Each structure stands twice: as structure tokens, then as C-alpha cells.
Structure 1
Amino acid sequence: MSDALLTPSRQVMVRPAWLDQLREEILEPALPIVDPHHHLWDHPGEHYFLDDLLQDTATGHDIRATIFVQCGAMYRAAGPEEEKPLGETEFVTGAAAQSATGKYGSTRACAGIIGMVDLTLGDRVETLLAAHQAVAGPRFVGVRNRTAWNASPEVRSNLVTPPPGPLEHPAFVAGARRLAALGLTLDVWAYHTQLPLVAALARAVPELTLVVDHVGGPLGVGPYASRRAEVFPGWKRDMLALAALPNTVVKLGGLAMQVNGFDFHHRPEPPGSAQLAEAWKPYIETCIEAFGAARCMFESNFPVDKGMCSYPVLWNAFKRLAAGAGAAEKAALFRGTATRIYGLERLPAGLAPDWDATH
């Protein structure tokens, strides 16, 4: 496939005019949602700030709160290397404070912040974690490192390609233990080829809540292109192994990334929610059946997934996929799991979403 529609970080380029060709009626507009995975950034060719996020969350679904996830944005330009990611937490805390004024709508954007602390620093991470907490307060809920890696140069989903091996680094486990001791979570973005390493980490630190991002990263590009039927059984086997570990949780989404191999962005018109639900159903259903609704949460992964679909269509697709769930399961998938895992119910008044309001 042509790379003409890809940004420098190999994300699919967002084309508003292309997305605007399709408008859908919002399904279940009164269903409260916590979006537990999005980014804010200003990368070459990619701009997504608070205003952009709130334009998306205001398109019809009842988005009560969001969780920002580490993406290498706004690092400090100077100072010790390990402290530079504090700039990202400072930047996002400012956006969260802006949203919490209520002047920009009822959605509490960045109510939770997942930052970057290099866990390969081992026991030294404790001071750094305290520094992030000092900046963001109770909004700082966890950490994510750059861990998605594959030997093929065609498999890439980050502006900066990480070196191989962070998950295997001996000190990474020590850092993860420090994280768990502070009641913080660890999000892990790994490709399906790395899932055994993720499981090994979860077993090594059973007190850690480990959140598997983007349904475990089933690859569909490079050496995995046009091999979906071959990749799926191995991905499923390793996801079932992860599900057997009670300290793991999975995010349902991220399947509109270029690395997954779906080609919706090459079509003349953007996909509708029914098309997305059909394409993603094997992955989403496998995860919900294996982990249970109480350990699953739908995520937007915006603006990354915005290259293939709009925000209202994305959440319509998730609602189609959850159509057969009971009320309690649906509440968990769209709000409850994210609220519990990231401790949003512990936020003080003024920072917490308004759960009782009718939006």
C-alpha cells in the first residue's frame, strides 16, 4: 500500500473532508462513557490539542471523562533525560485544569493522566513518580513506556522507534514493583508478537494492574500483511493466556491503526459503524469473552484512529459490538472498568466527572 496517506510517525493522516462524507445518527446517546485512551500532541504534520479533543467528544456521545495516555508530547527541552517527560505531565495537567473550569463543556478531559517514567531505571523510578504526582496530583494514575517493537522496519507505530527489549530489561520488573506499591497502573502497548513478554511481566509483578492496550496489537503490515487468518490463532492463544492472569485488563480499540492492516483509509468514503463492527468483531468478542466485561474497556485511541474513522462513528461501532450485553456489562465496558482501574471515583470534587448530570 502507498505511504502517501501516512504521517512521519506512520499514523494514517487525518482528513476532515474525507471523514465529513459520512454522518450517522448517534446510537444510545444517553449512555455515559469514559474514554480511557487518547493523546494530545503537536508532532510534525499532526496537531491535536484540547480544543480538537473537545470538538470530537461533543459530537453526540455522552463522554463524561477522558484519560490521557503518554505519547512523547511536550517533553522538556533541557535538564536530566529521565526528567524530560515531566513536561508532558505539566502540559496535560494544564489542559485538565482548563477543562475542569466547565467553560469548555461538561466532559472532564484528562481526568486521569498516564505519563512516562522509564521503568528500566528500576528502584530509581520512585523519585520520578513522586515528581509526576507533585505536578498532576490525584490525576496522575499510571505510566506507559515505549515498548511496542518488531524487527521489521515496516512495523512502526511511534514517532520515535524504541530500542528492542524494554520489557525484558531486568530492571523493568523492579520499576514495575515500585509503580504497583504506589497504587499506580501500567499501560503496555505491545504487538501480538510480544504478548508472552507481557504475560511474563504480569506474572512477575502480580500486585501490579497491567492494562493491555489496543487488544494486544494484532499486526497486519510488513511480514504480517494479508495473513490475518494466520495471525489470529496465535494472537488469540496469547490473549487467553493473559486473561488467565487476574491482574490484567484490556483496552478494546486501536484497531484503526495502520499497523493492524485494515485499509479503510484507502477507500473513497469512510467506513460506517456497521462495517467497523463487522471487521473488529473477532478481536473484541474474543477479549470480552476471555477477560469479562469487568476487565475490558472501550477506547478511542484518538487522534490515531481518526485517520480511518470519525469519533461518533467509532463509538457507534463499539455500541453495535456491545448490543448483546446486559446493562451491567455495558456499564462496565463503557465507563465502569475505566473508572475503577484508573481511580476516577477517588478524584476530589471539582476534578471528578459529574456522574449524575443528564447530558
Structure 2
Amino acid sequence: MVLSTPHHAVREDWLALAREEVLAPDQPILDAHHHLWDRPEGRYIANDFQQDAQDGHDIRASIYVQCRTGYRSDGPVEFQPLGEVETILDWSANRPAHPVGIVGFADLQLGDAVRPVLEELVAAGRGKLRGIRNTTAYHPDPAVRSNPRPAPDGLLRSDAFHAGAAAVAESGLVLDVWAYQTQLDEVQTLALAVPDLTIVVDHCGGPLGVGPFRRDDPDSFRSWRDGLARVAALPNTRIKIGGFGLSVIGYDYAALPAPPSSQDLVADWRAHVDTCLDLFTPERAMFESNFPVDKGQFGYRTLWNAFKRLAEPLGCDERNALFWHSAACCYGIDAALFSTDNRRTLS
């Protein structure tokens, strides 16, 4: 069965209508979050990401995040996600830095029984497995949907999930969490329950702008900010800044006659980005592309130009934290990849 996608279709001819000069081309970047897939709605594998990553910005390395790619078709169901790690390593065999790290999937609803799955994933990752992510974003309104297979309610709250998350921490892995603003208190409770676990909140903590939510509603913004503040107050949390191309956030750049400019994106995103930086500081925040999901709304070059404009008021150390250092520390990536000697020499 082919599931409908909530993502905007990628139109290369439309994206080609906007072409900006690359800003700050010497800024090293670790793209902290992207996907690869071969799906009925489109193909975006290692070569496709490489083409985007080589389009002017100094993308030294990247982190792949699970999206149900290449699961095994047989064997025990809990071990079938090992196929995703195997597939990504196969696709990127000649590109050691893209990805330099992998966030895979293990069903944390298995609770403590997830441990052998984590062990097998670590072995399959050949030193690249850095974290785990489950499908957890849930809202009862069907208009609020960011996944072809929406999560059921209650995963983040369940005792089994907390036990599985504790196993992730004991395995030395990070937990990525994609949750909507209405679930941020559940993320806070999880972070309190497993204080040794580093939790990376994806996509700015899921501010919503569809269904019962409006992007321009100050009450909704305040609710998102307050929930995120409670998460940020805990030292074991981090945040990824990006994901603004997700349909649930409410922007519809894809309906424009031409793609938005980086100045347009800055004007739209500044309030959310500044809030994330105020709450987490650059040392606990990292920029992400979320490609190819966001590629239906704007180009890779434009996206990173927007991030560079947003980071321009910051000092050099803070900018480096956002563009690579925070993600490298969080996911255990060798900082030598981002030295001057390695500039534009990685593939």
C-alpha cells in the first residue's frame, strides 16, 4: 500500500528560479539532520544529497536521521530496522563524511528488551551509529500530520518507552525526539525521568501552524515558547533549529510563483530562532537542513544563507557552535573534520 505523504513535492525547475550568492563560504558546517530515501513520491539518496551539499556552502559532514529507509524484509520485526543502517552505509560507502553519523530506529516500546536490538545496531553501524529516534509526533487533529504513518498517542509518556530510553542512555547513544509543541511537557517528563540521556529536540520543538493552530497567533507562540522553556531548563536537552519547511509549521512557500529568498526566510523565522537561542544558547543548539523534506519549500543554498543571516549578530565562537561544534559534541563527531586543513577536501 502506498501511503500519502504530507511533504511538499520537490520541483527542481521551481527551485532553479532562485539562485543566490553563497554567504560566508568559509564557514564550516555540520548538517545535523537530513534523510535519504527511495520512495514512490521521490528518490533522494547519497548522490542527491551530495549534489546539494556541494552547492557552494562548506558542508564538511552530516548526520543521517531515520526515516524507515531500507528495512529488512524478513526476520524478527524488532531487528528489521537494522536494514536502514546497512542501506545508508551501502549508499554512502565512498562518502565517509556524508553521513559521518547515523541516528537509527529501535522500538523503544520494547522497554528493557530493546537492549539486544541496540547492540546489533551499534555493530551494524561500524562506528557511525550515534543515536536513536522513534516516530512520536502526535496530535488528535488529522490536519496536524508530518509523517505518512502518524504515531499513536502516549508513546513518550509510557513506562515502556522510558525504560527503552534508559537503555539508549546506557548504550552511550543520543535520543532524537520529534514532538509537537503540545507534547513538550511529555519531553520534559522524559528528560527528568532519564537524566543521563541526552535528548535532542528536533525541528525547534514543533511549533504548529495548521489545523487549530495559526502561525500568527500570539497565544500559540507563547504556549510553544513556555513549553520549550521547561525543556531547555534541563541540562540533558539540546535543540535542532530548522524544519520550517514541514507542512505542520504552516508555511506554504511551495505555492509561490518562485522560491523564497534567504531574506524572506529570515523575516519569517527570526522570532522562533531567536527564542530557541535565548532558551538553549548556541552551545546547546545546532542548525539542520531536514532535507529532502524541506526541499519542497526552498533550496539548500538559500536555507544555509538564511541560517548565516540569522547567526550574523553572534560572535565567531557562537556561530561555530551553531554551525558545527554543538552537533559534533552532541553526536561525538571528530572536531578535526572542521579544521582549516580539511576545508573543502571531504566527500
TM-score bucket of the superposed structures, by smaller chain: over 0.9
Is 1:231 aligned to 2:227, yes or no?
Answer: no
- 1:8 Cα deviation from its structure 2 partner: 2.2
The answer on whether the counterparts of 1:9 and 1:160 sit within 8 Å (CA) in structure 2 is no
Per-residue CA shift, 1:164-216, capped at 9, x if unaligned?
11111111111111111121000000010101000000010011000000000
Partner of 1:257: 246
Partner of 1:358: 343
Partner of 1:186: 175
Is 1:79 aligned to 2:64, yes or no?
Answer: no
Matched position secondary structure for 1:224: coil
After superposing the two structures, state which structure 1 stretch, 137-146 or 222-231, moved more.
222-231
Partner of 2:137: 148
Is 1:139 aligned to 2:135, yes or no?
Answer: no
Partner of 1:209: 198
- 1:226 Cα deviation from its structure 2 partner: 5.5
Per-residue CA shift, 1:79-106, capped at 9, x if unaligned?
2111111110111122332212xxxxxx
Q: Write the distance in 2 (CA, Å) between the matches of 1:357 and 1:228.
A: 45
* Ranges in structure 1 where 5+ consecutive residues have no aligned partner: 1-6, 101-107, 347-351
Is 1:270 aligned to 2:266, yes or no?
Answer: no
Partner of 1:49: 45
Q: Write the distance in 2 (CA, Å) between the matches of 1:263 and 1:230.
A: 21
The answer on whether the counterparts of 2:239 and 2:276 sit within 8 Å (CA) in structure 1 is yes
Q: Write the distance in 2 (CA, Å) between the matches of 1:221 and 1:89.
A: 33
Residue correspondence of structure 1 range 265-304 to structure 2 within 5 A? 265-304=254-293
The answer on whether the counterparts of 2:215 and 2:221 sit within 8 Å (CA) in structure 1 is no
Matched position secondary structure for 2:74: coil
Partner of 2:318: 329
Amino acid at match of 1:253: G
The answer on whether the counterparts of 2:266 and 2:306 sit within 8 Å (CA) in structure 1 is yes
Matched position secondary structure for 2:342: coil
TM-score (norm 2): 0.96
Residue correspondence of structure 1 range 236-251 to structure 2 within 5 A? 236-251=225-240
The answer on whether the counterparts of 2:28 and 2:59 sit within 8 Å (CA) in structure 1 is yes
Matched position secondary structure for 2:212: helix
Per-residue CA shift, 1:272-316, capped at 9, x if unaligned?
000001101011100111101110000000000101100000000
- 1:159 Cα deviation from its structure 2 partner: 1.7
- 1:227 Cα deviation from its structure 2 partner: 5.2
Q: Write the distance in 1 (CA, Å) between the matches of 2:227 and 2:42.
A: 33
Partner of 2:306: 317
Q: Write the distance in 1 (CA, Å) between the matches of 2:259 and 2:9.
A: 13
- 1:141 Cα deviation from its structure 2 partner: 0.3
Amino acid at match of 1:159: P
> Please, what is the CA RMSD of the aligned residues?
1.3
Q: Write the distance in 2 (CA, Å) between the matches of 1:354 and 1:31.
A: 9
The answer on whether the counterparts of 2:106 and 2:117 sit within 8 Å (CA) in structure 1 is yes
Partner of 1:117: 106
Amino acid at match of 1:231: S
Partner of 1:341: 330
Q: Write the distance in 2 (CA, Å) between the matches of 1:276 and 1:70.
A: 26
Which of 48, 54, 58 is matched with 1:58 structurally?
54
Q: Write the distance in 1 (CA, Å) between the matches of 2:317 and 2:328.
A: 14
The answer on whether the counterparts of 2:104 and 2:129 sit within 8 Å (CA) in structure 1 is yes
Q: Write the distance in 2 (CA, Å) between the matches of 1:357 and 1:37.
A: 21
Q: Write the distance in 1 (CA, Å) between the matches of 2:177 and 2:281.
A: 19
Q: How many residues align?
A: 341
Per-residue CA shift, 1:332-356, capped at 9, x if unaligned?
000000100000128xxxxx84632
Partner of 1:4: none
TM-score (norm 1): 0.93
The answer on whether the counterparts of 1:8 and 1:44 sit within 8 Å (CA) in structure 2 is no
Amino acid at match of 1:94: D
The answer on whether the counterparts of 1:95 and 1:109 sit within 8 Å (CA) in structure 2 is no
Matched position secondary structure for 2:239: strand
